[in-house]
Amino acid sequence: MKAARPRLERLGPVYARVAIGAAFLSAVAGRFGIWDGEPGLSRFPAFNQYTAEVNAFLPAATIPFLAWAATVAETSLGIALIAGVQVRLAALASAALLALFGTAMAISFGPKSPLDYSVFSASAGALLLALHEWRTPGGPGEVHRLRRAWRALPRLRRERGFAGSVIGLY
């Protein structure tokens, strides 16, 4: 069982990246009619209407911008997550976008709607992915550890000699 844990720890974030990224791209594909085999802009007015319903508390003039901004954000974040590019930033932005969407749904439709569609769950998953990426080697935590080790190197050389300084880092 212990051997499976490291593998799951590697596969879990990949699964989260692909699942969240695919959900974003699937939503975009739906609003452009790709899933129905009729690609084009003919379905986008329906998405504009849905955007107006979700954001009923905002001025009507903001709706076209919000619809296109959501589309661009979902496309960009979906591609970034699936491709594994800037995962920490993409996951954090995904968590924020989903939290905003869920909050807008809750304000306009009540709390049942975002809960039924697991919007907050997806947001939490994206946040956990961002936090996981933050803790992985090469993340900011690792950079700080390496900086501390680098700064300690002259002191270790004086105290232990060159070989001791290398061993003292580990």
Check whether residue 117 and residue 105 sit in a common domain.
yes
36-58: b (≥16 Cβ within 10 Å) or e? eeeeeeebbeebbeebbebbeee
CB burial of residue 77 (10 Å; 0-12, 13-18, 19+)? buried
DSSP per-residue letters across 42-91? TTHHHHHHHHHHHTTTS-GGGHHHHHHHHHHHHHHHHHHHHHTSSHHHHH
Check whether residue 98 and residue 109 sit in a common domain.
yes
Q: Range of 169's domain?
A: 138-170
Check whether residue 82 and residue 103 sit in a common domain.
yes
Check whether residue 124 and residue 82 sit in a common domain.
yes
Q: What is the pLDDT of residues 94-137, one digit of tens each?
A: 999 999 999 999 999 999 999 999 999 999 999 999 999 887 65
Check whether residue 86 and residue 150 sit in a common domain.
no
Q: What is the pLDDT of residues 63-99, one digit of tens each?
A: 999 999 999 999 999 999 999 999 999 999 999 999 9
Specify the number of domains making up the chain: 2
